[in-house]
């Protein structure tokens, strides 16, 4: 059985959250908040990166357990 990170509920929620944050940051009242906007964008993208790394680690562990069975 192959695990796909796209099927993880936490991945779907992280994508949804990221889209919402990016839409909020388009608000014209935040036009001059360059640092804040940059930090929030990086933080939301980092959450997705961490999920992907964990999914990759899980796949490696599953492959090793199959190999050493």
pTM of the model: 0.71
Greater confidence (15 vs 54) lies with: 15
SS3 of 16-50: the string is: HHHHHHHHHHCCHHHCCCHHHHHHHHHHHHHHHHH
Residue 41 pLDDT level (bands cut at 50, 70, 90): very high
Whether the pLDDT of residue 45 is over 80: the answer is yes
Which domain, by its residues, includes 33? Answer: 5-68
User: What is the rounded distance in angstroms from the CA atom of residue 23 to the CA atom of residue 66?
Assistant: 43
What pLDDT score does 3 carry? 65
Whether the pLDDT of residue 57 is over 70: the answer is yes
User: What domain count does the chain have?
Assistant: 1
């Amino acid at each position: 059985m192959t695990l796909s990170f796209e099927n993880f509920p936490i991945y779907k929620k992280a994508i949804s959250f990221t889209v919402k944050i990016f839409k909020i940051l388009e608000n014209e009242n935040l036009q001059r908040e360059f640092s804040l906007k940059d930090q929030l964008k990086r933080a939301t993208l980092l959450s997705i990166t961490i999920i992907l790394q964990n999914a990759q680690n899980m796949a490696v562990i599953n492959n090793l357990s199959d190999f050493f069975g």
